[in-house]
Structure 1
Amino acid sequence: MNYNKLLLGLLFFCVLHLKCNAQSLEFLKADTTDSNKTYPRQIFGQTKIHFGGHFSTGVDGLEEVENNYFSALELRVGWKGYGRKKWHQLFGYPTYGFGLYQATFFPEANILGNPSALYGFFNGPFKTYNKWSLNYDLGAGLAYDFFGYDPKNNPDQTAIGSDFNFYLTVSVEGNFKISRRLDGSAGLLFTHFSNGRTRTPNKGVNLYGANIGVKYYFNPYIPKKGGVYIPKDKDPREKNIHYDLPEFHPFWEYYTFVSGGVSTSPYNIEDQNKYYGTATWAVDVARNYSRKGKYGIGVDLFYDGSLVEEYQSQYPNGVPNSKLFYPGIHVSHELMIHRFTVVTQVGVPLMNVEGRGGWYARVGGRYDVTKNIFAHLALKTPGGFIADFIEWGVGFRMYGKRNGI
């Protein structure tokens, strides 16, 4: 089968079925992102303390750290989404913002380091009651202060190869009201650090534990002429605003993206200056089933330069370029939060790929730059969720005619 023709055929099918009209802006959630700037911003500060343990990496030499506990401190500044924008209502009036994370691994003098992180977070309720709620909390950012593997200076630390890594944390927690200005929280957490195989080794560092926190609500501020902000003399907690949103009609969406990246050897961890190029071209068809989500199917064409290491024994005179490309087909779900989209996909390669297993996954995010153009950042993994490479890309989307219009 000619897989390039398959990709082009799917793209041509999508174009034939497009009808971009004045309602495209509504398709981009315009009816759920309106902002009334006369409403004040509800700002808060938050502190969290973490305590827990390590999942084992299986690396000899890290037992001293992994058999011990860790602690961490978070400092956050964020906003309460009480309905100043209509999409807040779709997610149960969430909170979101930015934070600083500092962990201490014991003993403090260790070969792994004591990582810090700068990150963004999103916290929304599963269920809200009178004075408390059961929430999920997601955070993602950049971690630093690791002692990465170095064949000369840190040869025993073969769990993670870079000083800078991606930071991801997920927790389920109860939030409860303490006073007019204070909220408390307590929950269970999972935290992951890795570099997406931009540097090997990359077994990752994984933590589990519990957290407790306290949140302080500042007075809301109303923008005035000349940029002066005047505090309102009222209860600091703004009441949630409810909107009667128009009926949603499902519609189709068609998009394509291209991405590039680099990866290192999955086997030779000592040659830290050896990089391979990677690339992806994908074409997708997705069905928007609500204002928050869509499911779809798509075709991928991957290029992975590191595959030369998988095939070099079979081709001692040089691996042909055709072995570095392979196609795949995937199914997907996407969660849309305003201009951000959380992407989860599972796929299968359409040919046997040495060393990459019988399936793959993609987890990442997209940001809508305009109604048609988006930025793409995702981690592509082979079977087993071991990092393959990071996709940095840009995409273009168009919309089909909405049902019932």
Structure 2
Amino acid sequence: MKGEKIHWKIVWVLTILLFISAIASAQSLGTSTEGSTAITLRENNSDPSELFDSLFFSTPIIHRLGVEIRPGYILPTNPYFKGENSTSQPVRSSFSTHLKYSFRFFPNTLADKIYAKPYQGIGLVAYNLSHSQELGTPFVFYLFQGAQISQINPKLSLNYEWNFGLSLGWKPYNRETNPGNTVIGSKANAYINTNFYFSWLLSERLNFDTGLSITHFSNGNTKFPNAGLNTLALKAGVLYSFARKSEPQIRPSDLFIPTFKRHISYDLVMFGSWRRTGVDFLDAQVASPVAYPVMGFCFAPMYNFGYKLRLGVSLDGFYDGSANVYTQDYIAGTEQEFFKPPLDEQLALGISGRAEYVMPYFTVGLGVGKSFLYSKGDLKAFYQIIALKTEITRNSFVHIGYSIKDFHMPNFLMIGLGFRFNNQYPSFYRK
């Protein structure tokens, strides 16, 4: 349990750092006007990639391919990593190799200027962990997005990037075949990463990137054990940009940022998941034998302050099938029974303050709230929510979030769909 508290503190700090750095990357937008400069491309387009891009993007883009290595140190957040394992040796090292495809908007377009040179893409990574005979050799598929924090000089910039994905290839705990692994309980785990790095422009199409990377692996409390694994790593890589022949020529002086129309939009999210829990028994906790369902909704009026920031308040409703589950004394040699309370003891309403950092295609959100209507026990909570919203259409999105208690206790996943009403947010990057 102590290890779980430590690793969720790390995740919370990691997310706060990402949020602060993202806000810090906001640039002055200059004088606002009622219109914007039109960007014209050639009508006769013989390049197939340009034809494809014009179908899906309202802003011209640059395709990029990158390779990275990340030698890392496994943080000793659990006794297992300190040496309480089958070899009695500390588990310290990790090494990962990344292959990444991304695209960014052309320089001096509206999307490029408003969002501080953003880019987004997909990545594939292979991990080599010390003690792999018990932990496995995971590989990861992930989404990522980044942007510039500061342009230090014409050829050097400071940037941030987040990664979020699914890792496979773990060797989970098994009482008979893998009893030594007391930290990873599932074959598939979430992958969460934040990195901050310097990017050097070596040539017109080639960049060299180097910086620091923080990574967290967890199954979201869906299986036990869930102590998680955290790494601190260096990163180094090269990035090649496939510039197109018909690159638009746009001067910064020709570009005017439209006035942002402040307004209130309304987000409705419906989510569900499952979770395992520990049940109090004789001054200790016993792992629940089954996974319990979790369902809920969030309804949040959000004030849109500008292109990058939304603030609001959310009404949060929860059904937690593991809440207030209890067990009783039993005869040794028989199966211990677990009992569910009445439905009203597994329902709760809460209210939370929300802040969202808005970027093309993705929105990163934080929430801090408290239950105000509940029966008793487990549902009395001061809770926090970390969420990623990924656009499906202009007014709908996939919601992937996680709820924790008191900034350190794992709670449950929040996987679902969301809909946005009264959405007056302008879009400069999609059809």
TM-score by length of 1: 0.78
Query: Is 2:64 the counterpart of 1:44?
Result: yes
* Residue equivalent to 1:100: 124
| Whole-angstrom distance in 2 between the partners of 1:206 and 1:356 | 29
Q: Equivalent of 1:187, from 187, 193, 211? A: 211
**Identity over aligned pairs, percent:** 24
Aligned-partner residue type, residue 56 of structure 1: P
**1:283 matches 2:299:** yes
Instruction: Show CA shifts across 1:250-294 (max 9, x none).
Output: 1112232221111123355584xx121101122211110001110
Does the Cα contact within 8 Å between 1:82 and 1:89 map onto a contact in 2? no
Q: Deviations over 1:354-388 (max 9, x none)?
A: 35674111111223434443332211122233332
Alignment of 1:4-403 (within 5 A): 37=54, 41-60=61-80, 61-62=84-85, 66-83=90-107, 86-107=110-131, 109-128=132-151, 129-220=153-244, 232=245, 243-266=255-278, 268-269=286-287, 271=289, 274-309=290-325, 311-312=326-327, 319-350=341-372, 351=374, 354-355=377-378, 358-399=381-422
Letter in 2 for 1:337: M
The one-letter amino acid of 2:291's match is: Y
Equivalent position amino acid for 2:125 in 1: Y
User: What is the total number of aligned residue pairs between the two structures?
Assistant: 354
Greater shift after overlay, 57-66 or 285-294?
A: 57-66
Structure 1 unaligned segments of length 5 or more: list them.
1-30, 221-231
Question: 2: CA distance between counterparts of 1:331 and 1:90?
Answer: 26
1:352–1:358 Cα contact (<8 Å) kept: no
Per-residue CA distance 1:165-184 (angstroms, 9 max, x = gap): 11111011100111233211
Q: Is the 8 A contact 2:148 2:157 kept in 1?
A: yes
TM-score (norm 2): 0.74
Matches of 1:180 and 1:378 in 2, distance apart?
39
**Which segment is superposed worse, 91-100 or 237-246?**
237-246
Change (3 A) 1:205 1:281: same
Q: CA deviation at 1:39?
A: 7.2
CA contact 1:82–1:240 (8 Å) conserved in 2: no
Contact 1:262/1:275 (<8 A) preserved: yes
SS at structure 2 position matched to 1:387: strand
Q: Compute the displacement of 1:395 (Å).
A: 2.9
Residue 131 and residue 356 in structure 1: after superposition, are their counterparts in 2 closer, same or farther (change >3 A)?
Answer: farther
Give 1:342's aligned amino acid: V
RMSD of aligned alpha carbons: 3.2
What one-letter code is carried by the residue in structure 2 that aligns with 1:55? L
Q: 1:64 to 1:120 in 2, by over 3 A?
A: farther
**CA–CA separation in structure 2 for the residues paired with 1:301 and 1:53:** 39
Q: C-alpha separation between the residues in 2 aligned to 1:251 and 1:261?
A: 32
Structure 2 residue runs of 5 or longer lacking an equivalent are: 1-35, 42-53, 279-284, 330-337, 426-431
SS in 1 for 2:323: helix
CA pair 300-210 structure 1, distance change in 2 beyond 3 A: same
Cα deviation for residue 114 of structure 1 reads 2.2
**Residues 75 and 92, structure 2, Cα contact 8 Å, conserved in 1:** no
Name the SS for the 1:89 alignment partner: helix
User: Residues 225-251 of structure 1: CA distance to partner in whole angstroms, max 9, x if unpaired?
Assistant: xxxxxxx288xx987867312111311
Counterpart CA distance in 2 for 1:400 and 1:82 is 26
Letter in 2 for 1:263: R
Q: Relative to structure 1, is the Cα distance of residues 284 and 259 closer, same or farther in structure 2, using a 3 angstrom cutoff?
A: same
Q: Does the residue aligned with 1:322 lie in a helix, a strand or coil?
A: helix
